[in-house]
Amino acid sequence: MDELSASATLVPQVKRAVQSLTIPECQQLVAEALKLETPSEILARCLKLADKRYGDLLG
């Protein structure tokens, strides 16, 4: 990812969220995504992780 857009009030929370990711966790997500067949399946998998880890941030 090269850039990310967020409102100024959310920047600290988004920064902490991104910094909390581990390389193995990201590698696992990529491996799982590569096994999926459609963009909607990949999005659903990513949203599942995002909701689990950052539900409060996503509202």
Give the confidence band of 15 by pLDDT, cuts at 50, 70, 90: confident
Give the confidence band of 39 by pLDDT, cuts at 50, 70, 90: very high
Give the confidence band of 59 by pLDDT, cuts at 50, 70, 90: low
pLDDT above 90: residue 56: no
SS3 assignment for the chain: CCCCCCCCCCHHHHHHHHHCCCHHHHHHHHHHHHHCCCHHHHHHHHHHHHHHHHHHHHC
pLDDT digit string (tens) for 20-29? 889 999 999 9
Whole-model pTM over 0.75 = no
